[in-house]
Structure formats: structure tokens, C-alpha cells
């Protein structure tokens, strides 16, 4: 099942509009773009043994 097919099902089960589900995906994507490089930087500096 693709995301396109599952979105209407999730929207109806959660009781949210298509705008709310698209905003959730957008916010998740933006946070991922910000925090994955930050997590990689921190793991290189904190997690690496000298």
C-alpha cells in the first residue's frame, strides 16, 4: 500500500482533514532535514572514541 492510498484511510481513522495530514508530513520532513545532520555531527564528536 502506497502513501497515496493509505492517507485517506488514516485521515478518516484519525478524524483529521487532508490539510492537517499534509501539514504533519511537511513538519516531519522539515524536522528530519534539520535534525539528521545535527545528530550525525553530534555522534561524530561525542560518540567517537579518541
The pLDDT value recorded for residue 1 is 60
**Residue 6 has which C-alpha cell?**
493509505
The pLDDT value recorded for residue 19 is 92
Using one digit for the tens of pLDDT, what is the confidence trace for 1-50? Answer: 676 788 888 899 999 998 998 898 899 999 999 999 999 998 888 876 66
The pLDDT value recorded for residue 30 is 95
> What are the C-alpha distances in Å from 27 to residues 1, 6, 11, 23, 46?
23, 19, 17, 6, 27
The pLDDT value recorded for residue 34 is 93
The pLDDT value recorded for residue 38 is 93
Whole-prediction pTM: 0.66
Amino acid at each position: 500500500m502506497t502513501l497515496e492510498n493509505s492517507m485517506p484511510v488514516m485521515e478518516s481513522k484519525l478524524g483529521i482533514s487532508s490539510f492537517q495530514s499534509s501539514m504533519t508530513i511537511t513538519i516531519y520532513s522539515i524536522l528530519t532535514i534539520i535534525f539528521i545532520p545535527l545528530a550525525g555531527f553530534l555522534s561524530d564528536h561525542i560518540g567517537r572514541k579518541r
